[in-house]
Structure 1
Amino acid sequence: MSDFSNIDPQSMATQLAGFDVQTLQNQLKTQKSKLASQQTALRTLKSALTEFRTSMQNLNKTNAGMLKTSSSVSVENMVKVTTTSETRKGTYNVFVEQLASSHQLAYNALDEDAVKNATGSMKIQVGSDSSKTITVDMDNVDSLAGLAKAINGVSDNPGVTASLVRTNGEVRLMLSSDKSGAGNALTVSGFPEIENSKAVTLSEAKDAIAWLGEKNNGIQVSSSTNTFTDLIDGVTLELNQAQKDGDTPLRIDVGVNTADTTAQVNAFVASYNKLLSSLGSLTATGSGSTDRGAFAGDASVGNLRRDLNNMLRTAIGGQDITQFGLSADKDGKLTLDSDKLKEKLTEDPGKLNALFNGDKGLLKAMDKSMDKFLSITGGEIKSREETFRRRETELSDRSDKISTRYDTAYNRYLSQFTRLQSVMQQMNNTANMFGLT
């Protein structure tokens, strides 16, 4: 008779319960692996599209498009010139007559005793607008420091700063307009020691004055600051130093920065080709030595690739990319003929921006095409992420059910083999009694 009394109920229960759920566990493992691959692919797609969108937006910033311009000034440090993509090449003559300055007043006759004995209100008005007035109750002020603090602490201060300066052992109050320009002059009244007639003018409130052309013969312009943004289209002038009568006007030369513009176009090419490569890998059919992509046969991803390809071949304002030296190979990837681009920039550089930049340009259209996938309200990326999260929950629930099934089977087998072991032990004991072993 076989001896089954030495069987291990726990080992047998573990083995048989494992057989019961093995198929389900294998299926679950395959499904989890597939889901993980899909999630990884979706993250790769999202990263590629987001990176491409960021690149398109950087190349299509306001006043900073594909076309890059440069400038030079005949005399260094007199004027800082900043150009944008909207700047038109040319030579401009500018004479700087006067720099803008802020109004600054110092009060030599105002001492601690005068402040302590002052009564009533002191008023400081900025410019001609009476609503821009600070009123200080002098009955609540007993020192120069307290007066400065009261002025600076006004909640609706229209642009006045009070400070204390120390010279030759004496402390003086100084008032400064926060903004430059003749329209921001300070008018102070209230008690004799503080009125304008008692003040020493440290700096006058003046507008900047410049001439487009020669002084007194050109076009005079003024600004409350030393920055002119509307004098020349696409050019910002920051005045640093006034010229003297009889000086020759500054010559400002503005032109295309071919090297930087080429770099911009190459940045577009690199961004587009990188995205195209990512989409190609994700949608690969798996023929030959190529692995099958996670989005092979996916209509939405395939349509995006075709849409981008069609945009490249669409003329905008009578211009297309081939006129600027761009061409696509059989796989759709772009290459740039720098010489052809340089030739086009020499002829009419403004057309590069017309093609690529602005709300109707190629960059905006390509950026907009990302919405279908990247929109946070109804984009496909978000929709698929939500679907994958639901699938994760389903697989987690299925894993719990398999675990429950395993535990039930294990307990059942453990009970059965424990009883069998007990019976076999009894039978062996009986056989021993009758000498049957």
Structure 2
Amino acid sequence: MGTVSPSSNTTLLQQAAQSIVSGATGSSLDVNTLVSAIVMAKIAGRASAIANQQKSGNTMLSALGMMKSSLGTLQTSLAGLSDGSIFTQFAATASGKGITATTTGGAAAGSYAVNVQQLATANQISSKAFAAKATLGTGTLTIGIGSASMTLNLDSKNNTLAGIASAINGAANNPGVTAAVVTGTDGQHLVLTSAQTGAANIVSVSAGAGVDSNMATANFTQVEAAQDAKLTISGSAVTSASNTVKDALTGVTLNLTSAAVGSPQTISVAADPSAIALAVQGFQKAYNAWVAQHKSLSSYDPSTAQAGPLLGDAMLNSAVNGIGGIMASGVAQGGKTYSLAQIGLDLKHDGTLGFDQAKLQSTLSANPTLVSSVFNGTNGIGQQMNKFLDAYTQTTIGQVDKRTASINSSLLTVSKQQNELVAYQQTLTTQYNAQFTALNRLLTRVNNNRNYLNQLFGGNGSPGTMNKSA
């Protein structure tokens, strides 16, 4: 159903009148044009009002969606800042070479002396030398590592060193052994290596009846012994089957390489400044995006007289003022008041937030508790902001969702009114079609009768057949 303007409505009525005049003066009525003009003229005002209500409602829904999305992004950026958890994230650094340290949950700040005596190694054994393509009999060959093992069946298809190596590497139940054939000056050797480091992961070989007796552990040479990593952490002895040492130092994982052996060093665990800076900068960007969004939604261009969809809106103004108040206020803790400016976040005249990363890093180094005080989990800026934003962003019960639901309800009513108007339009069209079609038939009969009488008695310049006979 289209929208009809007052000027087009007048034109339609003029067309209808002209159609009736034409019919009365001898031409047939253009029923379709006539009915369409009269019906559209009759419903034009209501159709226009409904279209305007729908446009206004949908524009408002779009604006509220943008507002909620921007506030939601701002709230998401507070993760770790609103509850202060970002300040319990620690980074670990080593003072020397050969150790890299990473942190997980539960790490505690401090310095820890680490001395690595040996690395964990994987067991490797090598068989005696065999002639190239030598066959080693048929039967079973058991390969083990630690307490796990697998048994291979050797036959004429796989009883060479290459065949055995391929069978070991391709076995679905391989317990963790890799095999390779090394060709030396003395012949070929089967080299078996444990996939896992550690003293418990010793490779073993056992030959069954019919298989060359040299295929037994006792006849293999140990190339690399299986051993655990050994180190001390703050004086406590630690062993690890892997060179990735977990759980020895709570919340810290140490990755050892050969450069660390015999080189005592210190592992320092402290708050992660890079994570804090990233979180603060993320908050600053989300805040500035919110400022740009609310300015756009409430803008006014005097040159075009175009206004943003939420210009003067009470809910938007309330959100803007509330957020601005929190940003401008200080945080009282321990008898002192802290502000965003102290950690490199400065409110500018245009309402945006500036970020001085160098100042934040300097503050983190000199006075880390100052930063954590601004974003403490009790009454910090993030905590205040998060609670305030909940009133707008919560699903269903938040102000934006409640208002959205109200507009959707109104649009549903408008949609019903539109359907009713369409039904009314169809009823009028049917009614007028019947009336004007009947009128058209009547006018046709009148015109036909007039023509007959003119032919009979004369008229319109014709003498008439009656006059001729006289």
Global fold match (TM > 0.5): yes
Judged with a 3 Å threshold, the aligned counterparts in structure 2 of structure 1 residues 349 and 88 are, in CA distance, closer, same or farther, namely farther
Aligned to 2:179: 163
Is 2:213 the counterpart of 1:196?
no
Q: 1:337 to 1:179 in 2, by over 3 A?
A: same
Provide the residue aligned with 2:226 in structure 1.
205
- Per the alignment, residue 272 of structure 1 pairs with 287
1:348 paired residue number: 367
Deviation digits for residues 148-168 of structure 1, max 9, x if unmatched?
54675446x6x5133343535
Larger RCO (CA under 8 A, 6+ residues apart): 1
What residue ranges of structure 1 are gaps of 5+ in the alignment?
none
Measure, in 1, the Cα distance between the counterparts of 2:155 and 2:333. 69
State the one-letter code of the partner of 1:79. I
Partner of 1:427: 446
State the shift of 1:9 in Å. 1.2
How far residue 10 of structure 1 moved from its aligned partner, in angstroms, is 1.2
- 1:229-268 correspondence runs (5 A): 236-242=253-259, 249-250=264-265, 262=277, 264-268=279-283
Taking the TM superposition and a 5 Å limit, the aligned residue runs for 1:103-114 are 103-108=123-128, 113-114=135-136
Q: Aligned pair count?
A: 417
CA distance in 1 between counterparts of 2:202 and 2:178 reads 14
2 CA distance for matches of 1:436 and 1:16? 36
The 5 A counterparts of 1:394-433 are 395-432=414-451, 433=453
CA contact (8 A) 1:93 1:249 kept: yes
Residue 9 (structure 1) aligned with residue 14 (structure 2): no
Q: TM-score, normalised by structure 1?
A: 0.70
Deviations along 1:137-192, one digit per CA (max 9) or x if unpaired, are 6479962647754675446x6x5133343535977554443332224334454645
Partner of 2:465: none
Residues 40-77 of structure 1: CA deviation (Å, up to 9, x unaligned): 123313431343344334879999669896857455xx
Letter in 2 for 1:242: A
Give the whole-Å Cα distance in 2 for the aligned partners of 1:364 and 1:38. 30
- The one-letter amino acid of 2:99's match is V
1:267 offset after TM fit, Å?
3.2
Q: Identical aligned pairs, as a percentage?
A: 23
Q: 2:293 & 2:364 partners in 1: Cα distance?
A: 32
Q: Which residue number in structure 2 is paired with residue 117 of structure 1?
A: 138
Q: 1:302 to 1:174 in 2, by over 3 A?
A: farther
8 Å CA contact 1:207–1:224 kept in 2: the answer is: yes
Gaps of 5+ in 2: 1-20, 461-470
SS in 2 for 1:23: helix
Q: If you compute each CA radius of gyration, which structure gives the higher value, 1 or 2? A: 2
CA offset at residue 37 of structure 1?
0.9
TM-score by length of structure 2 reads 0.66
Match of 1:35 in 2: 57
Residue 182 of structure 1 aligns to a residue whose secondary structure is: coil
2:338–2:373: 8 Å Cα contact kept in structure 1?
Answer: no
Aligned counterpart, 1:181? 198
Following the alignment from structure 1 to structure 2, what is the Cα–Cα distance between the partners of residues 358 and 201?
A: 58
2:138/2:155 contact within 8 Å kept: no
Q: Judge conservation of contact 2:99–2:260 (CA < 8 Å) in 1.
A: no
**Separation of aligned partners in 1, 2:403 and 2:220:** 72
146 and 72 in structure 1: CA distance in 2 versus 1, 3 angstrom threshold: closer
**Structure 1 residues 145, 321: closer, same or farther in 2, change over 3 A?**
farther
Cα RMSD for the two superposed structures: 5.1
